[in-house]
Amino acid sequence: MDFYDLIAKRRMVRNFTDEPVSDEAIDRILDAARRGPSAGFTQGQDFIVVTDAAMKRQLAEFCGESFYTESGFDPFISKAPVLIVPCTNENAYHRRYQEADKTDDSGEEIEWPVPYWFMDAGHAVMLLLLAVVHENLAAGFAGFQDLPAARAALGIPAEVTPVGVIPIGHPAPDKRSPSLKRGRRTDHIHRERW
């Protein structure tokens, strides 16, 4: 598929069939996710792959799946064959930027212009989502409503932040997000200056 067609085909899908997803496809998708750029090549992102039904139900609960189903969505988190939880580690960036090649003249860590640990998580997640489309699969995203519970259930170290859940599977007809009514912006380009 043409690269721009692949980008246009990507959308957040909120319903999946029962058809399993191959381990090989998940491996390729995860390999794509680690090829993104990262500040200082810190690579401070980790991914937890969940296929256990009980853990999927728990994570769905921590994302408030019942609120989705009460408003007409399918149980797209608990029902997805595979969940991937992308995580980012702010402290890994601080440690990297305290290394000799990254400190300023006084040996101090830089003033961070923006939180690059979240920017790099976005890079990784975007590559992952595009790889999902390339595999003829579909993915969604759900943020945690109870992040401490998710962290505890998955045994995530205190310095690592799970940014949400990416359900992956074969797409089934789904209810579209009401947010899409906003339409896609076309006034976002500022040439030469804002």
Ligand X SMILES: Cc1cc2nc3c(=O)[nH]c(=O)nc-3n(C[C@H](O)[C@H](O)[C@H](O)COP(=O)(O)O)c2cc1C
Q: What are the residues binding ligand X (CB under 6 A)? A: 11-12, 14, 141-143, 177, 179-180
Burial of residue 17 (number of CB atoms within 10 Å: 0-12, 13-18, 19+): middle
CB of 166 to ligand X, least distance (A): 10
Q: What is the DSSP letter of 181?
A: G
- Residue among 81 and 140 whose Cβ is closer to ligand X: 140
DSSP string, 77-135: TTTSSEEEEEEEEHHHHHHHTTSTTTS-TTSPPPPPSS-HHHHHHHHHHHHHHHHHHHT
- Beta strands 82-89 and 138-139 are unpaired
Alpha carbons 33 and 87: distance in angstroms, whole number: 12
- Residue among 103 and 145 whose Cβ is closer to ligand X: 145
Alpha carbons 84 and 34: distance in angstroms, whole number: 14
- Residue among 181 and 193 whose Cβ is closer to ligand X: 181
- Residue among 12 and 80 whose Cβ is closer to ligand X: 12
CB of 43 to ligand X, least distance (A): 20
Residue number, nearest CB to ligand X = 11
- Residue among 99 and 176 whose Cβ is closer to ligand X: 176
CB of 66 to ligand X, least distance (A): 13
CB of 178 to ligand X, least distance (A): 9
Helices (H) and strands (E) in the chain, counts: 7, 5
Residue pair 153/52 in contact by the 8 Å Cβ criterion: no
CB of 153 to ligand X, least distance (A): 18
Q: Which two tokens stand for residue 87?
A: 């995580």
- Residue among 12 and 84 whose Cβ is closer to ligand X: 12
CB of 193 to ligand X, least distance (A): 27
